[in-house]
Amino acid sequence: MSRWLVSLCAVLFAAFALAPVAVTLLRIESSDLGTLLEPRIWSLLARTIGLGLSVAAGCLLLGVPFGFLVARTDVFGARFLRPLSIVPLLVPTLLMAMTWTALSDVRGPVATAVLLVFSYFPLVSIFTARAAERIDARQEESAWGLGGLVAVLRADVGAILPASLAGACLAFTFAVNDFSVPDFVSSVGVKFNVYADEIFANWSQFERPGLAVATALPLLVVTLLALVPVLVLRRRGALAPVTSSAIAPATLPLGRWRWPATLFAFAVVGASSLVPLGRLGWEASGGPSAWRPVAARAAIAGEEAPPAATAPRPVVPGSATTGTTTNSEREPDLTFGERLAAAPVVAGRQLDTFASAFGKAFERARDDVRRSLWLAIVAATAALALGLVLGHAAERSRFGTAILMAALVPIAVPGTLFGIGTATLWDGPWLAELTGGASTDFYATPSMAALLYIGRLSPFAILIVAGAVAGVPKVSEWAAASVGAGPVTRLLRIVAPAITGALAASWICVYAFAMRELDSALVVPEARRTAIVRVFNGVHFGRDEYVAALSLVLIFTILLPGMLWAAFSKRPAKVLP
């Protein structure tokens, strides 16, 4: 291990990931701490913790059976269901909220919790699936002889539960720090304030960063307490040592339960992945407006449909329709025959609308998408370099626990708070003095946004690489050292090739999270000129087909690296070894 290289990466990580957190603490004034005595703050904290616990429980209910089924059983389509289940974790939670709220009238805390479960259950299923694959076949053979499939499942619970709980702790952390889903659900229904709303409001509305930081302290403590068990549980679960004599487990036949299990797995993937994508496609094609009764009847007559805001207002006989009612209340529903007659024309118009919406998306948001791609690629590449060095050091040095604990801090900090810290640190007077005034505009440069993403997301690369290095025998590095290979050579030629899948997963994970990062991006000017922020603004201010098309473009760019790796690489990308 190269001490100078580890020291350099540690300093960079401290500057990008830890210093922003430390700087935020210095913004707190004594008057700001008084807010912690307000009952409203503790009520919000209790509500947020309740939301997080509900989401963690829901993720366990979906993720544990789903992860076990696709990894170990003979459910139909497991080969395709497993990668599809990761999509909700990579897709921005805002898009999950905007699609499902259009399909369901459920609002408030129930809607918020369900949407977050759909988004974060893959954290549990990934850990569960990997732990289930590492069970010794001899253990299951003994259980099968005693009681068949039921006995095997009971025996496997103890092996997969620690890993599943580690995933649930991560889901809890993501849920309590999520701002976009509660914000959007509140914008279309009953107001449901959570702690992240309070932090964002104290910064954006009251322009009091010190108050925002002070308000965030209790949530920071809660998330750190939730993340620490992850380091312990992952060692006992997905990263538990496997002896060299262990035998890979066989696929478990479900018998008569195969079809119900398959339906469950497809329902989970459908609700969390396929339905949101399908709804966005429907909106991009103008489906909600194209099938308005007045628009469909105009299609039958060969006429252009009037805009929704200026549609005719016929009065339905026998009704109490007034000028203040909606078009759907004023216009009789389509009959079955009318729907059949309108279908070909409306479908053609929808295709035209679909193409037009994507044209507008590329025309209006081309620069934002390009900027998002550039920032995500830079952040992923830099995070990969830091992750390789510090992840290896976390498993091979005596400071490993300290490195892993430090990596948890940026994950535990709410995104808004991390953005405030990054802006405060790199826009401070010290940088202007150091550069003789040349850095006065650094706050508004793309480099500032890149530093934000590197600091915020590099911990994921460190944790993924550390887990992979744990599975690499130390003897291979010792053997290389014995023939004169230096630390850097051993890292690049012995360790890196052995964990290629984990390195790919690190890059893809950081890239995807950078493309979808919203909370911290709202604080930094250049990060606000990204595709996800444009979608955020479009959803709240005049949502139309163009917003849905841009959302699909964003999802495609997020998923593209993973799809390319899966299509052309012989080694799968592995978040866990």
| 221-256: pLDDT as tens digits | 889 888 888 877 665 544 554 444 567 777 878 888
Q: Which string of DSSP letters, residue by residue, matches 475-515?
A: HHHHHHHHTT--HHHHIIIIIHHHTHHHHHHHHHHHHHHHH
Is 10's pLDDT higher than 80?
A: yes
Confidence (pLDDT) at 228:
84
Confidence (pLDDT) at 430:
59
SS3 73: strand
CA dist list (Å): 414 to 198, 218, 409: 11, 11, 10
Is 321's pLDDT higher than 50?
A: no
Write the DSSP symbol of residue 244.
T
Is 32's pLDDT higher than 80?
A: no
Is 183's pLDDT higher than 90?
A: no
Q: Domain 38-240 is of which CATH architecture? A: Orthogonal Bundle (1.10)
Confidence (pLDDT) at 310:
38
Give whichever of 144-153, 266-275, 485-494, 514-523 has the largest mean pLDDT.
266-275
Task: Report the candidate in 377, 416, 428 with the shortest Cα–Cα distance to residue 528.
Answer: 416
Average confidence score pLDDT of the chain: 83
For residues 391-420, average pLDDT: 89
pLDDT in tens, 81-125: 999 999 999 999 999 998 999 888 888 899 999 999 999 999 999
Rounded Cα distance between 574 and 516, Å, is 21
pLDDT in tens, 488-540: 888 889 899 999 999 999 999 999 999 999 888 888 888 889 999 999 888 87
Rounded Cα distance between 213 and 310, Å, is 47
Locus of tokens 């699909």: 552
Partners of 73 in beta bridges: 252
Start-end of CATH 1.10.3720.10 domains in the chain: 1-28+364-577, 38-240
CATH class of 1-28+364-577: mainly alpha
Confidence (pLDDT) at 326:
45
Is 478's pLDDT higher than 90?
A: no
For residues 187-191, average pLDDT: 82
CB atoms within 10 A of CB 172: 27
Confidence (pLDDT) at 562:
92
Confidence (pLDDT) at 325:
42
**Terminal alpha carbon distance of the chain:** 21
For residues 53-58, average pLDDT: 96
Q: Which string of DSSP letters, residue by residue, matches 87-151?
A: HHHHS-HHHHHHHHHHH----HHHHHHHHHHHHHHHHHHHHHHHHHHTS-HHHHHHHHHHHHHHH
Rounded Cα distance between 456 and 419, Å, is 9
286, 357 Cβ separation under 8 angstroms = yes
Confidence (pLDDT) at 439:
53
CA dist list (Å): 244 to 68, 71, 134, 577: 23, 21, 12, 15
Q: Which string of DSSP letters, residue by residue, matches 292-342?
A: SHHHHHHHHTT-PPPPGGG---PPPTTS---TTS-HHHHSPPPPHHHHHHH
For residues 329-342, average pLDDT: 72
